[in-house]
Amino acid sequence: MTSVTPDSLSSAPPEILALGPVAWAKKNLFSDWFNSLLTVIIVGILGWGIFRLVSWALTAAQWQVIPNNFGLFMTGTFPSELYARIWALLAVVCGLAGLSWGVLGRNVSTLFSRSVLIGLGLVCAFIVLFPPTRPSSLKLLPMVALVAIAAVAGRQVGRKFPGIGKWVSLAWFLSYFVALWLIGGGLGLTPVSTNDWGGLVLTLFTAVSGIVLCFPLGLLLALGRRSALPVVRLLSTVYIELVRGVPLVAFLFMGQVMIPLFLPIGSRPDRILRAVIALALFSAAYLAENVRAGLQAVPRGQREAAMSLGLNTPTTLGLIILPQALKIAIPAIVGQFISLFQDTTLLSIVGLAELLGIGKSILANPAYLGRYAEVYLFLAVIYWFFCYAMSLASRKIEEKLNTEH
Amino acid sequence: MTQSQTEQPSAHATSTEPVIVARDVEKWYDNGFHVLKGVSMTVYKGEVLVVMGPSGSGKSTFIRTFNALEPYQKGSIEVDGITISHDLKNIEAIRREVGMVFQQFNLFPHLTVLQNVTLAPIWVRRWPKAKAQEVAMQLLERVGILEQAHKFPGQLSGGQQQRVAIARSLAMQPKVMLFDEPTSALDPEMVREVLDVMRGLAKSGMTMVCVTHEVGFAREVADRVVLMDGGYLVEENTPQEFFSNPREDRTQKFLSQIL
């Protein structure tokens, strides 16, 4: 009989055997004839596709359309003599982003790990090498530096005042109004009509406004649908089911045409405002269902434990149920935010010159006839960048909120 | 010998001051099932009452009516002199005085152990944070989890979690503690540490109502043992009589199944 001696029970995990590249390929790619065949076919198709794309991008593509219209892509018809205000807005956002990064990472040993350094290096290289940014790269590089400096400062401040998180959130909230002021003017700045808001700035502005508005609304609808009061429950359910049954395009047109009908004659709310409201009302219905899924995933015992301690319903909801429900629903909620961001492209249908709309109008210019592939590829990269950033952020938040281990 | 046999049991004297008075409580579930068929019971200050019975007998449902987690349709329940009504303020007032420990612990997983224990004193009793934390640390020391105070519940063993749950209930300084099968979800080796805490609590004079299958605990700590079956209260007896010389055939049958 063999027995296991304590010595052989090492508490360290077994070492993973490192495979050489040849052995790795043999194990994972060519383990039998069928896998080998699949590997060859897939590598062939991928390689051919990438080769075609790269050779097109380097030889056939005429990228001149991007740098020539870079200002349009970013800000639409925003007056170019007021670009300084957009730069100021970018600086505010970069500073706040760096600050938040530093405050959140105040307990991490180093802010600038290898992967972060590689990422920053890639961004800098992109700014320097990418043709359209070249005239403004002198301003973009300092922005990257600003993020880094703010991060270091944020870490110092965060270590000294652990309660600073609330103030950073407040600063983000206030930055929204600063953005509104910098873009729209007023209060000492030259006003810019919303007809001149456009491009990426308009896309980001409508997306952020939509997200900020639809979140509380979705939360209330989700709670309403689970309310003990039949009237509240019925109204929430009817709203959610009605909105989910209508396509967003129809909703946007209704927003443009019907919102003015409900308002006193003569008061015509701004086109962008109407679009943002329609977008938020639409997304709120979907968000409500995501939040409701989260609420249903919180075990009944949590509510019972809170109530048995004498907590009243609002406190139970705010301190026990919602924090857990929202944590569960983060992936779905962020998914909804990402699709809201992409849905802003539909605003071009109702005549707003957001990023895609600007792209279309540039393509309508005879000088850039037929430059579809270049323009749409460029736009796709921009959309991908922001959506990927959101999903990366959601993963970080999930990690941070994980209390299981 | 005989003297010690009859006088041995409870470590503390029970008063005649009632804390919970349940009269003819009847309850139907939403699906029409008649789960409590007129149960009356009085819990006196300082006593430990153990409720036993087969599963589905209504024992958990019964003690959950004491802090209005389960509504009932007929009869009346008085806790600390307040009759349970539908009024929310009235229910919250009763829950402040009644602690409850659940089979599944039900700790708040997103809060640390210390936050779990201080939550209700801060938000319900309106204690300043410092005072709540001081009391919480004392309680955590009492249940032997002081060094885990800043961990999250998910990082503790089941036995430790249940001890935190007991400390969380005690932090509200309740007049009576309800235990709903507190050791049923635990691995066998962790049952003892929880029962030890409950023993200590009983010795300190806490009024306790325990639904449990732990015969050893009932024999040693209980002042009275009751058997519930099919929605009725079948027998109410001293632990010695209950386990060695029960009055009812049903009790005998139940004991033969669990002993």
Instruction: Report pLDDT digits (tens) over A278-293.
Output: 999 999 999 999 999 9
Higher pLDDT, B78 or A22: B78
| CB proximity under 8 Å: B 160-199 to A | 165, 168-169, 172
The answer, for A37 touching chain B at a CB cutoff of 8 Å, is no
CA distances from A185 to A68, A72, A178, A277 (A): 27, 19, 10, 21
pLDDT band, very low/low/confident/very high, at A80 (cuts 50, 70, 90): confident
pTM of the full predicted structure?
0.83
Interface pTM (ipTM) of the complex?
0.89
Q: CB B110 to CB A404 under 8 A?
A: no
Q: CB A307 to CB B168 under 8 A?
A: no
What distance in Å separates the CA atoms of residue B63 and residue B58, rounded to the nearest whole number? 9
Q: Tell me how close the Cα of A398 comes to any Cα of chain B, in angstroms.
A: 12
Q: Supply angle C-alpha A330, A336, A340, rounded to 5.
A: 140
What distance in Å separates the CA atoms of residue B78 and residue B20, rounded to the nearest whole number? 6
| Residues of chain B contacting residue A305, judged by C-beta atoms under 8 Å apart | 100, 102, 106-108, 165
CA distances from A269 to A176, A262, A274, A357 (A): 20, 11, 7, 21
| Residues of chain A contacting residue B109, judged by C-beta atoms under 8 Å apart | 324, 403-404
The answer, for A256 touching chain B at a CB cutoff of 8 Å, is no
Q: Which of A58, A73, A136, A60 is nearest to A375 (CA)?
A: A73
User: Measured between CB atoms, which of B98, B100, B109 is closest to A403?
Assistant: B109
What pLDDT sits at residue B1? Answer: 37
Higher pLDDT, A124 or A232: A232
Interface test with B, best of A107, A308, A400 (most B CBs within 10 A): A308
Q: CB B69 to CB A320 under 8 A?
A: no
What distance in Å separates the CA atoms of residue B29 and residue B36, rounded to the nearest whole number? 9
Task: Pinpoint the residues of chain A covered by CATH 1.10.3720.10.
Answer: 198-405
What pLDDT sits at residue A12? Answer: 64
Q: CB B152 to CB A299 under 8 A?
A: no
pLDDT tens digits, one per residue of A376-396 = 999 999 999 999 999 988 888
As a whole-number percent, the residues of chain B with pLDDT over 70 amount to 95
The answer, for B65 touching chain A at a CB cutoff of 8 Å, is no
Beta-bridge partner residues of B49 = B209, B224
Least confident of A26-30, A130-134, A336-340: A130-134
Closest chain B residue to A320 measured between Cα atoms?
A: B108
What pLDDT sits at residue A32? Answer: 86
The answer, for B154 touching chain A at a CB cutoff of 8 Å, is yes
Q: How are beta strands B18-28 and B74-79 bridged, if at all?
A: antiparallel
pLDDT tens digits, one per residue of A270-324 = 888 888 989 999 999 999 999 999 999 999 999 999 999 999 999 999 999 999 9
What distance in Å separates the CA atoms of residue A213 and residue A275, rounded to the nearest whole number? 12
Rg (chain B; Cα; Å): 18
User: Measured between CB atoms, which of A301, A310, A401 is closest to B104?
Assistant: A301
What distance in Å separates the CA atoms of residue A333 and residue B30, rounded to the nearest whole number? 34
Least confident of A64-73, A220-229, A300-309, B1-10: B1-10
Q: Supply angle C-alpha B148, B153, B158, rounded to 5.
A: 95
CA distances from A341 to A4, A88, A200, A209, A333 (A): 59, 23, 11, 10, 12
pLDDT band, very low/low/confident/very high, at A57 (cuts 50, 70, 90): confident
The mean pLDDT of A235-241, rounded to a whole number, is 95
Low-confidence ranges of chain B (pLDDT < 70): 1-14
Q: Please, which residues have CB within 8 angstroms of residue B194's CB and are 6 or more apart in sequence?
A: B159, B162, B163, B166, B182, B183, B186
CA distances from A385 to A195, A342, A388 (A): 26, 12, 5
Q: CB A311 to CB B124 under 8 A?
A: yes
The mean pLDDT of A193-198, rounded to a whole number, is 85
Q: Is the pLDDT of residue A17 over 90?
A: no
What pLDDT sits at residue A16? Answer: 65
The mean pLDDT of A353-365, rounded to a whole number, is 91
The answer, for A319 touching chain B at a CB cutoff of 8 Å, is yes
The mean pLDDT of A108-118, rounded to a whole number, is 81
Q: How are beta strands B207-211 and B48-52 bridged, if at all?
A: parallel
**With helix as H, strand as E and coil as C, how does A152-187 read?**
HHHHHHHHHCHHHHHHHHHHHHHHHHHHHHHHHCEC
Element (H, E) at B207: strand B207-211
Higher pLDDT, A65 or A302: A302
CATH code for the part of the protein at A198-405: 1.10.3720.10
What distance in Å separates the CA atoms of residue B54 and residue B44, rounded to the nearest whole number? 25
The answer, for A301 touching chain B at a CB cutoff of 8 Å, is yes
What pLDDT sits at residue B14? Answer: 59
Beta-bridge partner residues of B211 = B51, B180
Instruction: Outline where DSSP puts E strands in A323-377.
Output: none
Q: Is the pLDDT of residue A365 over 60?
A: yes
Q: Are B137 and B129 in contact (CB under 8 A)?
A: no
Alpha helices in A76-226 (DSSP H): 83-104, 114-129, 137-160, 165-184, 199-225
What pLDDT sits at residue A113? Answer: 81
| Residues of chain A contacting residue B106, judged by C-beta atoms under 8 Å apart | 299, 301-302, 304-305
Q: B66: which 2 tokens?
A: 């004491």
The answer, for A54 touching chain B at a CB cutoff of 8 Å, is no
What distance in Å separates the CA atoms of residue A386 and residue A13, rounded to the nearest whole number? 39
The answer, for A298 touching chain B at a CB cutoff of 8 Å, is no
Q: CB B172 to CB A307 under 8 A?
A: no
